[in-house]
Chain A
């Protein structure tokens, strides 16, 4: 890692911490102005992270210089990008209070990883692996977004059902907007994850042929994929909307995160690089 790259990463991390703090405080003191400022700070962090990744790409010679730091950074970058893109369309800045902590979490995890550590074992490096990883990450990032919108929907729903809209209710986006974001996240997250998994499967078929290792990550990812597929189906075909979708999206995300952490630290998996 070059020193410029390191400075850029540190600056991006700083911006994201600042933005996360700003969002959370804006939620506490109920002032939208602070969330607006935080959005700009997050946008700055997003640009810095993009530069950081660009620098890494320029100095990228082969897979051995591509560390898990970059990988987690891409994760954070994609989520931030989707969120900021959404900000251009809808004025739901408070969503940041739910998204920014995720971005920060990924960046902190990235900071903890040495970039010199080889991310993907050398025998598996290749174009198809990259495709598999990037698509899966983008898909999962969209699910995070859908679930964050779902969590906010539940809070707003609770306030409105109890006839206490109050200052917090005024601050949170409308139910309609939140449901739309949930819809958007599922609608685009699912095909991306699907393509990512197909990429992985095709690659695995090349490497291992017919008999794949019974990898817990593969099994569990498949379960998560089926669950989200089920949600999307219910949404599009049956017309599930609103609170039921919100509850299920949140449960889906919690299950996904727990499994990702559990598998990463407790079970043996071929995906143990991330």
Chain B
């Protein structure tokens, strides 16, 4: 069966996650130690800043799961009650669903983020390299990646930005099309402005100019982006030249007035201008927005877009859950078959073998029979064997649907001596 033990940002405070993360990092042959636990057949260890999880294919599940729990508690230095509060344990269908949800980023702090898939892939690669996985987990992980891919392409969960800086980048793309070669002006030296600028540069924008009251600070920021630093007095001139302005000064009044924008628009031959004002109090006069071909967004506008996108992601998550259910059902079907099918097959072939030997033994006296009678005897023998086998096969199939076939399968193998 499949089991999963772990903790995440919802169940455990940062301090606990940190301890566990560090504990697991320190251990060089963690996977080997885990695999050495009695009852653990295959294992995978996922560790990120938001979660630590162990996924395993187990034999004698309750005991093995308990061992895994105490393993995590030991590495994280968790007291008993702490471990009880932080750790969660899932089995079979629940465990598979949880893993698929994690991989598809439905369980993430920022739903729809892309990082987690890479982290799970890394964890799997590591387990694969150390031979910690086998046929059950290999297929499980491939199915998890498939589910994540489907969620990404079939729903809009990762479609729209859910951070203010990325929302600004999306808007810039909606205004200019491509950002390649766009010129950016940064007014002030806020962290948010820097972050937004980094994203814009990542999307192809170049040629950055920084305006600041303090020339030293302007130079510092400009150097980071290989841009130019100019004094506040050159603001008018700079406005005429650039495509995107990001403003985040601590100034108490408007740094860019509507009149300044109107004046420069004539000089810039009506080229589109995107103004991002992330300062509070505002840096750019709202009157600038009334100018033709100028698009002014302040922090509230951007936040509204982000809120709307988060709402959308929640809606899309419902679609994603349906995809997850489908993939979970796919995998469990395969897994169930894996458990009972080989036993059913060998049981049948054993019975057929017996029939064959016995018929051969009886061939001497059966030769005296009429053809029609001989066929009747053969049909009778097959009929009896099938009737006898019908009940055990049916029970194994039924139980496998409930994930409880393991004991029955083992009993059948023993009773019919299938492993001899």
Residues of A within 8 A of B (CB): 156, 160-161, 163, 165-166, 169-170, 173-177, 179-180, 238-244
Contact = CB atoms under 8 A, between A and B. Distances in A.
Interface in B162-218: 170-171, 173-178
B272 A165 contact: no
Contacts of A239: 269-271
Given A241-B271, A241-B272, A242-B270, A163 B297 contact: yes
Nearest to A169: B174
A160 B171 contact: yes
Majority SS of interface residues in chain A?
helix
B305 A176 contact: no
29 contacts: A156-B174, A160-B171, A160-B175, A161-B295, A163-B297, A163-B301, A163-B304, A165-B305, A166-B308, A169-B174, A173-B177, A174-B173, A174-B175, A174-B176, A175-B174, A175-B176, A175-B177, A175-B272, A176-B175, A177-B177, A179-B272, A180-B177, A238-B269, A240-B270, A241-B269, A241-B293, A243-B293, A244-B270, A244-B292
A198 B177 CA distance: 37
| Residue from B178, B292, B301, B308 whose CB has the most chain A CB atoms within 10 Å | B292
A176 B178 contact: yes
Interface string B273-315: 0000000000000000100110101000100110010000000
Contacts, number: 57
A243 B297 CA distance: 18
B160 A241 contact: no
Contact of A170 (B160, B177, B269, B270): B160
A256 B174 CA distance: 30
Interface of B: 159-160, 170-171, 173-178, 269-272, 289, 292-293, 295, 297, 301, 304-305, 308
B137 to A, nearest CB: 35
Contacts of B177: 173-177, 180
A180 B177 CA distance: 10
Nearest to A163: B301
A175 B147 CA distance: 36
B41 to A, nearest CB: 43
B305 A242 contact: no
A202 B295 CA distance: 48
A18 to B, nearest CB: 25
A56 B21 CA distance: 76
A240 B269 CA distance: 7
B301 A175 contact: no
Contacts of A175: 174-177, 272
Contact of B174 (A174, A180, A242, A243): A174
